[in-house]
């Protein structure tokens, strides 16, 4: 049996791979940052290098 420890951020436009132990969990989905988890309500991206996700 394989245990998943990392997965893609649940934000559709985000490219980040997030560790489940460090992820921001919201409604059963895992996000790389609070910005992604909140749906980019402030219009800012996740701030990770090379990722251009935003609202």
Cβ contacts of 48-53, under 8 Å, gap ≥ 24: 48/16, 50/15, 51/14, 51/15, 51/16, 52/13, 52/15, 53/9, 53/11, 53/13, 53/14, 53/15, 53/16
Token readout for 55 is 């609202």
What is the structure's pLDDT at 54?
A: 80
Distances (CA, A) of 30 to 1, 48, 52: 21, 16, 18
What is the structure's pLDDT at 42?
A: 86
What is the structure's pLDDT at 21?
A: 95
What is the structure's pLDDT at 55?
A: 52
pTM (predicted TM-score): 0.87
* Domain parsing of the chain, residue ranges: 6-37
Q: pLDDT tens, 1-39?
A: 888 899 999 999 999 999 999 999 999 999 999 999 999
């Amino acid at each position: 049996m394989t245990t998943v420890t990392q997965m893609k951020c649940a934000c559709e436009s985000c490219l980040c791979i997030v560790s489940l132990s460090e992820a921001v969990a919201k409604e059963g989905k895992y996000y790389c940052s609070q910005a992604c988890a909140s749906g980019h309500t402030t219009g800012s991206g996740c701030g990770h290098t090379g990722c251009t996700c935003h609202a």
